[in-house]
Amino acid sequence: MIIEIFGILVSIFGILMSIGYFPQAYKIYKNKDAKGISIISYLIFFVGCLVWLIYGALLQDFHIIISFVVGVIGSFLVLVLALKYK
């Protein structure tokens, strides 16, 4: 019972944390400016999220997969937009 509840919490908070990339991507897109954005940092975030996503897929762990698929998309968007508008 506790493991199931914790799994749900992990999914919810993983998604919430990963959603944090999207406001940054929107700001870069809206302003057409990425001066204050560290491309190295977002590259590390992207690779880290991707590794976790692959790990979750290998384990077939839905909670890890759902948490990090959002992070991969969000960090990739920031990275691409930062490279475009740098």
Distance CA 29, CA 3 (A): 40
Domain with 48 in it: what CATH number? 1.20.1280.290
* Under 8 Å between Cβ of 7 and 63: yes
What is the pTM assigned to this prediction?
0.88
pLDDT at position 83, please? 96
pLDDT at position 1, please? 83
Q: Which domain holds residue 56?
A: 2-85
SS3 content of the chain, % helix, strand, coil (to 5): 85, 0, 15
Q: How many domains does the chain fold into?
A: 1
The model's pLDDT over 5-62, given as tens digits with 9 standing for 90+, comes to 988 898 899 899 999 999 999 999 999 999 999 999 999 999 999 999 999 999 999 8
Q: What is the DSSP string of 14-29?
A: HHHHHHTHHHHHHHHH
Dihedral angle computed from the Cα positions of residues 22, 24, 29 and 34, in that order, rounded to the nearest 10 degrees: -150
- Does residue 70 have a pLDDT over 90? yes
Average pLDDT of the residues of the chain? 94
